[in-house]
C-alpha cells in the first residue's frame, strides 16, 4: 500500500543536522546530574546554558528552513493552528490526577505530517500553553523538549493503517505519558530535596546510586500522575484518533505541502 504521509516540515540535510545536534545537547541537559562532578561550574549553570543553546538551535533551523523555502506558508499556518489548539486544551484539565489532553494532538500531527513537524509542534505547543497558564519557569524548556521528542518519534513510527495504526499510536501515547513525566522530573530533582533524603540527588555519588535514587523518587512521587497521563493519551487516541487522522490527512492533501510551485510569465 502506498504511503499517504505528507511531510509538512521536511527533514533535509540542514534541518536534520540541527535537530540531531539539539537532541544530543538536550540529552546532556536532561541527564547532567548523573555525569557532572560536584562543585564545578556545570553543576549550577549547565542546564540554563544548554537549554539556551537548544532554543537558539531550534529557532535557527526554523528560520533557515523558512528562508530556504522548505517550510511554506501553509505549513506555518498549520503549525500555528495546531499549536493554538494544543495550548487551549492544556488549561482545561490543569493536569488534575495526571489527566492532560495536550499530547494526543502532538502525537497524531507528528504521525501525519512527519517528524520535523512533530518536533516543531511539541516546542510551540508547550511554549504557548506556558504563556496561557503562567507556567513559565526553569522547568519550561524541559517540558518543551520532552514534547518535541514525543512529536518527533511519533513521525518515525512504522507505516501501519487501520486498527493496527490506532493500536500502535495508543500504545505509543501511553509510553509517551510515562516518558514525559520521567524526563520532566529531572528539571527539579537535583535541587528540590533535602540532601539527606534517601531519594535525593547526591553530588559525587556513583552512577548506580544516582539512578537508584532517581528511579525511587520518580516511582514514589510521579508514577500516579504519569499513569493518569498515559491512560488519557491511550483513551484519547483510541476515541478521537481515527477521526483526527482522517481530518489531518484530508487537510494535508488539500494543502499540498510538497507540491512544486511554478510561476508563469504574465500573459502566458
Residues 6+ apart with CB under 8 A from 98: 177, 181, 224, 225, 226, 227, 228, 229, 230, 231, 232
* C-alpha distances in Å from residue 29, one per residue of 98, 138, 146, 180: 25, 12, 11, 15
pLDDT at 268: 54
pLDDT on residue 64: 60
Which residue stretches of 69-201 are H helix?
Answer: 73-93, 103-113, 115-132, 140-154, 163-184, 189-192
Say if CB 9 and CB 15 are below 8 A apart: yes
Please say whether the beta carbons of 6 and 247 come within 8 A. no
CA distance 84 to 124: 9
Q: In the prediction, which pLDDT does 242 show?
A: 92
Confidence at residue 264, expressed as pLDDT on a 0 to 100 scale: 55
Mean pLDDT by 10 residues, the chain (268 residues): 58 71 78 66 54 64 59 77 83 65 89 86 83 73 86 89 92 94 86 76 81 90 88 92 90 67 55
CA distance 214 to 58: 29
φ, ψ for residue 95 (rounded to 5)?
A: 70, 20
Q: What is the pLDDT of residue 165?
A: 92
Q: Give the C-alpha separation, 258 to 268, whole Å.
A: 25
**Residue 179's pLDDT is what?**
93
Amino acid at each position: 500500500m502506498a504511503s499517504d504521509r505528507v511531510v509538512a516540515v521536511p527533514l533535509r540535510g540542514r534541518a536534520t543536522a540541527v535537530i540531531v545536534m539539539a537532541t544530543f545537547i538536550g540529552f546532556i541537559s536532561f541527564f547532567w546530574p548523573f555525569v557532572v562532578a560536584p562543585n564545578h561550574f556545570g553543576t549550577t549553570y549547565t542546564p540554563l546554558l544548554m537549554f539556551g543553546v537548544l532554543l537558539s538551535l531550534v529557532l535557527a533551523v526554523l528560520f533557515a528552513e523558512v528562508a530556504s523555502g522548505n517550510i511554506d506558508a501553509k505549513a506555518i499556518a498549520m503549525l500555528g493552528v495546531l499549536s493554538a489548539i494544543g495550548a487551549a486544551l492544556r488549561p482545561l484539565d490543569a493536569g488534575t490526577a495526571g489527566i492532560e489532553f495536550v499530547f494526543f494532538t502532538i502525537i497524531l500531527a507528528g504521525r501525519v505530517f512527519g517528524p520535523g513537524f512533530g518536533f516543531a509542534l511539541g516546542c510551540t505547543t508547550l511554549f504557548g500553553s506556558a504563556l496561557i497558564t503562567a507556567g513559565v519557569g526553569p522547568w519550561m524548556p524541559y517540558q518543551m523538549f520532552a514534547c518535541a521528542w514525543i512529536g518527533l518519534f511519533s513521525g518515525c513510527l512504522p507505516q501501519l493503517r487501520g486498527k493496527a495504526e490506532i493500536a500502535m499510536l495508543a500504545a505509543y501515547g501511553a509510553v509517551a505519558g510515562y516518558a514525559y513525566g520521567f524526563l520532566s522530573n529531572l528539571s527539579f530533582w537535583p535541587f528540590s530535596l533535602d540532601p539527606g533524603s534517601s531519594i535525593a540527588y547526591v553530588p559525587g555519588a556513583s552512577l548506580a546510586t544516582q539512578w537508584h535514587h532517581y528511579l525511587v523518587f520518580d516511582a514514589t512521587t510521579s508514577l500516579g500522575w504519569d499513569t493518569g497521563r498515559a491512560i488519557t493519551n491511550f483513551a484519547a487516541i483510541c476515541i478521537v484518533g481515527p477521526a483526527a487522522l482522517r481530518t489531518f490527512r484530508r487537510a494535508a492533501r488539500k494543502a499540498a505541502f510538497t507540491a512544486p510551485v511554478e510561476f508563469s510569465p504574465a500573459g502566458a
